[in-house]
Amino acid sequence: MVSVFDVAAFIIDQLGPITAMKLQKLVYYCQAWSLVWDDTPLFEERIEAWSNGPVVPALFEFHKGQYIVDSIPNGDPEKLNKNQKETVEAVLVYYGKKSSRWLSDLTHMEDPWKNTRAGISNDERSNREITLESMAEYYSSLSPDF
């Protein structure tokens, strides 16, 4: 299985430098749609429901303190197979031009993040995991215009 770093490196190769928040949301949506379209997780790293939306803590530790992320030296985009690249590219076509704020707001309206943060105030820290099952269930119920 590829890592979140490989996926992030592929995204940056495709889009160029992007904000850390946008990168986090895009890897989240890549994971979600891989679960739906490919019936398998894209990467194994944990996703948590933070106040600004879904975050992969392992990726956050890499880019902490950076507003713009322009490279992921520990990621290898060539590790993604053809099918994985097609999934990520389709996600980028749909979500890639959206702002980080728009993506964050969207995740706040969706069940995986909302249900994981149930009972937690918007500004309160949380490390609750957004499960792959909750993502697969929710996103498989949508009919995206991909």
Q: Which percentage of the chain shows pLDDT scores above 90?
A: 92
Q: Which percentage of the chain shows pLDDT scores above 70?
A: 97
Write out the two tokens for 73: 């030296």
> Looking at the predicted structure, is the pLDDT value of residue 86 above 80?
yes
Whether 127 is covered by a domain: the verdict is: no
Q: What is the pLDDT of residue 145?
A: 59
Domain count, the chain: 1
Give the residue numbers spanning the domain of 100: 4-121
Residue 104 phi, psi (nearest 5): -65, -45
Whole-prediction pTM value?
Answer: 0.95
56: confidence class by pLDDT, cuts 50, 70, 90 = very high
**Distance separating alpha carbons of residues 74 and 77, to the nearest angstrom:** 10
Whether 135 is covered by a domain: the verdict is: no
